[in-house]
Structures are given as structure tokens and as C-alpha cells.
């Protein structure tokens, strides 16, 4: 583990952290722990020379169709955290599928899994995972201009654990706003950070113009056949 990961990070109330082996996957580990039974607020993390990986366990007390708002909540929380630590000229945008882009290039990914797939049922747990490139994972990064890392974008001085701490703080803020005010604040904030609004995108083997979000933060896109909707629940991964 890098020197930056040698200290224990500090988390806001109701959150607690645990480091996992540098080469392990905190997302899969968090899903296993959540399925076995644990209190929400667990943050698993791993830092290596080229990557930061982390995952947060949630226990939303609403149906899955509403609980999946955790993915954009974590995305907004990460952008806010990054914005507080990165140079002001560095831009971070979010894709609906969880992709994180820095200065237009892919730099990381957010993903989620839950105890169920039934949109109308209440999940016992939901996990959101983060995978972020700290440095190039190839010897010739210039060969893939569509991918980048914090180091390549002038953000190599950011302490990964400070980023995890800030991510949990800002995510908690937006989680509380969602619980108090519903999805409307998320809708406005996320669209302001969205990548490719108004442009043609491909998702799930389909192509269309990304026109916005529905009231449950599902993806709306215009195809030759009309407006189509992909609900946010479509991004919930299978854990087994």
C-alpha cells in the first residue's frame, strides 16, 4: 500500500472505514459483507500506486426504484469532493452509467449492487463502488487519449484518503438532502455535471440523443422510434 494510504482516514458520523488488501476489490467485498449482515455506513477502501478503489454500504428504507438514487448521489458527492481538492481548471463530469470523466476523458467508474433486483421491493442493502485511476495503468498512455488519470491531469498531489474522506462527507450531505427534499435537488445538480447532454450516445446496444432524466433519474434518449427510457434500476449489478 502506498504511503498515502498508511494513515487511517476520518469519516463523518455513522460511517466507519476499513482498509482491504491493495489488490482486492472493495466493491465485491462490501457486497459479501452486506449480504452476510452488517450495519450501513461501512466504507471499504484500497489504494495502490495507480488506483483508488472504495465502496460504501447503504441500507435504504425505500423500494429499489427509489433507492437507486444512491448512484447519482455518490456521483455528485464525488464531484463535490474532487472539486474541493483539485486545481480549479480541472473539470469533472459524470455519465449516467456511472463513468467519471476528467477533462473529457474517462478516469473512473461508479457502480452499484443491491440485495434484490425487484424495483418495487425494499432492498436489505445497496452498495456503491468507486474505481478511480490515480496514475496511468499502461506504459504508453498517449495511445488511448480517451482514458486518463489524476496524475495525467495535474492532480497527482491529491491525497487519495483525503478524497475518500471528502467523498463520504459530501455523499452524506446529498443523501440527507434526498431524504428531506426528494429527487428534485439531485435532478438539477446532476444535470449540471452531466456529460454528453444533447449528444448522441450508445447504451445497452442502442443509440440515441441523450435528452435528460425522468423524475426518478432514469435516462431519456431520443431515437428514430421516439423517446425511450432506461430506468436507473437497470444499472443494478448482479452480485452472484
* pLDDT tens per residue across span 117-155: 999 999 999 999 999 999 987 666 566 779 999 999 999
All domains in the chain, ordered by first residue: 3-195 (3.30.930.10), 197-233 (2.30.30.100)
Confidence of residue 204 (pLDDT cuts 50, 70, 90): confident
Are the C-beta atoms of 80 and 170 separated by less than 8 Å?
A: yes
DSSP for 29-97, please give it: HHHHHHHH---TTEEEEEE-SSEEEEEEEE--SS-HHHHTTHHHHHHHHHHHHHHHHS-TT--EEE-TT
| Cell numbers describing residue 65 | 426504484
CA dihedral 208, 212, 218, 220 (to 10 degrees): -30
Q: Are 71 and 98 contacting, i.e. CB atoms less than 8 angstroms apart?
A: yes
Residues 16-66 pLDDT 10s = 999 999 889 999 999 999 999 999 999 999 999 999 999 999 999 999 999
Give the span between the Cα atoms of 36 and 15, in whole angstroms: 18
238/226 Cα distance (integer angstroms) = 30
pTM metric for this prediction: 0.93
Amino acid at each position: 500500500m502506498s504511503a498515502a494510504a498508511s494513515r487511517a482516514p476520518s469519516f463523518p458520523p455513522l460511517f466507519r472505514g476499513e482498509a482491504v488488501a491493495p489488490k482486492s476489490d472493495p466493491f465485491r467485498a462490501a457486497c459479501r459483507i452486506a449480504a452476510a449482515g452488517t450495519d450501513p455506513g461501512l466504507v471499504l477502501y484500497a489504494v495502490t500506486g495507480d488506483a483508488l478503489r472504495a465502496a460504501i454500504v447503504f441500507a435504504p428504507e425505500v423500494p429499489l426504484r427509489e433507492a437507486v438514487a444512491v448512484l447519482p448521489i455518490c456521483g455528485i458527492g464525488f464531484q463535490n469532493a474532487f472539486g474541493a481538492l483539485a486545481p480549479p481548471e480541472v473539470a469533472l463530469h459524470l455519465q449516467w452509467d456511472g463513468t467519471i470523466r476528467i477533462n473529457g476523458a474517462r478516469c473512473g467508474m461508479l457502480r452499484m449492487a443491491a440485495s434484490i433486483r425487484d424495483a418495487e421491493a425494499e432492498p436489505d442493502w445497496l452498495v456503491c463502488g468507486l474505481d478511480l485511476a490515480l496514475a496511468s495503468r499502461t506504459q504508453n498512455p498517449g495511445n488511448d487519449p480517451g482514458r486518463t488519470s489524476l496524475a495525467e491531469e495535474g492532480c497527482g498531489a491529491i491525497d487519495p484518503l483525503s478524497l475518500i474522506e471528502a467523498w463520504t462527507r459530501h455523499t452524506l450531505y446529498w443523501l440527507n438532502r434526498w431524504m428531506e427534499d426528494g429527487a428534485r435537488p439531485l435532478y438539477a445538480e446532476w444535470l449540471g455535471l452531466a456529460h454528453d447532454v444533447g449528444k448522441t450516445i450508445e447504451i445497452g446496444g442502442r443509440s440515441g440523443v441523450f435528452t435528460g432524466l425522468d423524475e426518478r433519474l432514469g435516462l431519456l434518449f431520443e431515437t428514430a422510434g421516439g423517446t425511450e427510457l432506461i430506468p436507473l434500476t437497470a444499472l443494478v449489478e448482479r452480485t452472484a
